[in-house]
Structure 1
Amino acid sequence: MTLYEYIREELLGKNPDGTIPVWKAIVGGMAAGMTAQFLASPADLVKVQIQMEGKRRLQGMEPRVHNARHAFAKIVKEGGVRGLWKGWAPNVQRAAFVNLGDLTTYDTAKHMILKHTNLKDNYFTHALSSVFSGFIAAILGTPADVVKTRVMNQPTDANGRGVLYKSSVDCLLQAIRGEGFFSLYKGFIPCWIRMGPWSLVFWITYEEMRKFSGVTSF
């Protein structure tokens, strides 16, 4: 949020009437999401590996990791510090699309609602804007989430390279060719169910925190 606001306010700037040009919101949202997710990629890799252990146990397979500490140590032992950024590219790409949907849509929708309707800058407007942002974020983020999960969870060779996909683009093309375009939307409903409430809670809370702190509305 800090990076997005800096890009929006300092680097690109608003229109004289306070609205945000869509292209500026897009650039800011994608840049902020990519930067933050790159820094958080190691934690996300550990999370993905732990989440897959439940499926392995159901299949009667031996667990590869036992907890977050073990997963972290295993990744570093096998691939060095660079191994913590395995799959960072699809991870960052996913964050770019999710934040494009979330930040850009909320920012744009809110200011358009305030400009073209009689609604005020209050709970209802924040909630309405967050509904749009959560839905668009799920639409844009689900394909990237599918690719990211497949790339990050694929087995690797002795050199740490994936054995199933050469890159996120290769994974995307294989999924479309082998399973059809809509295979990219496997898990869309759970994704929306997760992102919708998150967006609603986050934006209302964030706006209220700004108000409580004496900062202008987002």
Structure 2
Amino acid sequence: MEFAIGAVAACGACFFSNPMDVLKTRMQLQGELKARGHYTLIYKNIIHAGIAVAKNDGILGLQKGLVPALGYQVVMNGIRFGLYQKILDSEIITRADGSVSTMGCIAAGAGVGVVGGFIGSPLYLVKTHLQSQAAESIAVGHQHKHQGFMPALWGIAKKEGIRGLWRGAVSSIPRVGVGSASQLFTYSKSKDWLEQYGFYARDSWQSTFFGAMASGLVIASCMSPFDVIATRIYNQGLDTQGRGLLYKGITDCILKTLKTEGVWGFYKGWTAIYLRIGPHSFLNLIFWDLLQSLYINYKTKSHTGR
């Protein structure tokens, strides 16, 4: 049940956050491997990007890749939140006073994130491809020209084999590891601190809100470089031998991006990342807390026969 709760909570949040994910992907691919000032700035900022996509791709263009995005949330966050709740319930990382161990929380968060991210990698691959597809006037990055979720999944498997569906999966490991660890750690510790200093009870919606927004800020800052790298490796085109046209791997992507775009190249789309992750984390975590409470109440009533 913990896995189902995590999956449902993540899907509920995904409906609202996917447009920001689309904009984030486009902004990360804009000016790929080009120095600042040497490419046309199609997306000037997050507001301009949203208007450009709605104008050229239609309002539904802001929800591109929604189906694989939802599928990814089911797999990735169902596993991540489910396993994390199991770890919390086991009290392996819980101190005697009931608070969560710092190192235990970081290690558990990173571990469950890596497992969920790797298993869900094919869905993330297709999601990235579909989100980057745009009208020619606003297209950035490699354009894969898929006709939809299932045609994309089938086409990749047919052309590259089953292994092709996990292309780029290695690049997602640091991304989901850092993102998951920073989210679950910041969220858990924020709720501990808010209760410890008498601001809000740990199970209040205010505690969830401030914990989620704080975790969103930390995630966006910590995860942005890894997110840019993962987006670019997932989205790059392939040659006839099935090798990436731009990058050989994570290290090659890091070095080329640093050389051509500088350090700030790793923070392209930061605002979109935060505006996606902040509300997504809040909705995701508040749905998770709510569903957990409903499930606990249901079990309690079942046991008491009421």
Tell me the TM-score normalized by structure 1.
Answer: 0.90
- The answer on 1:36 being equivalent to 2:116 is yes
The residue that corresponds to 2:213 in the other structure is: 131
Deviation larger for 22-31 or 120-129:
120-129
RMSD between superposed Cα atoms in Å: 2.1
Letter in 2 for 1:41: S
User: Displacement, 1:143?
Assistant: 1.2
**Identity percentage of aligned residues:** 28
**CA distance in 2: counterparts of 1:56 and 1:180, whole angstroms:** 27
The offset of 1:6, in angstroms, is 2.6
Cα distance in 1, alignment partners of residues 90 and 242 from structure 2:
41
Tell me the residue number matched to 2:188. Answer: 107
Partner of 1:117: 198
Partner SS state of residue 149, structure 1: helix
The 4+ residue runs of structure 1 with deviation greater than 3 A are: 7-12, 55-59
Q: Distance in 1 between matches of 2:242 and 2:144?
A: 20
Instruction: For residue 100 of structure 1, report the CA deviation from its aligned partner.
Output: 1.6
- C-alpha displacement at 1:105, in angstroms? 0.8
The CA deviation at 1:36 is 0.6
| Matched ranges for 1:181-196 at <5 A | 181-196=263-278
Question: CA offsets, 1:145-196, max 9 Å, x none?
Answer: 1101111111222332213212112211221122111110100001111111
Query: Which shows bigger deviation, 47-56 or 61-70?
Result: 61-70
Please tell me whether the aligned partners of residues 183 and 219 of structure 2 are also in contact (alpha carbons under 8 angstroms).
yes
- Measured after TM superposition, the shift of residue 64 of structure 1 is 2.6
Aligned 1:128-207 pairs, distance under 5 A: 128-207=210-289
Q: Does the residue aligned with 2:100 lie in a helix, a strand or coil?
A: coil
Q: What are the ranges of 5 or more consecutive residues in structure 1 without an aligned counterpart?
A: none
TM-score under structure 2 length normalisation? 0.65
Q: Does residue 13 of structure 1 match 2:93?
A: yes
Distance 1:81 1:11, change over 3 A: farther
Matched positions, count: 214
Letter in 1 for 2:249: S
- Higher relative contact order, chain-length normalized (CA < 8 Å, sep 6+): 2
Distance 1:176 1:74 in 2: 33
Q: Deviation of residue 96 (structure 1)?
A: 1.1
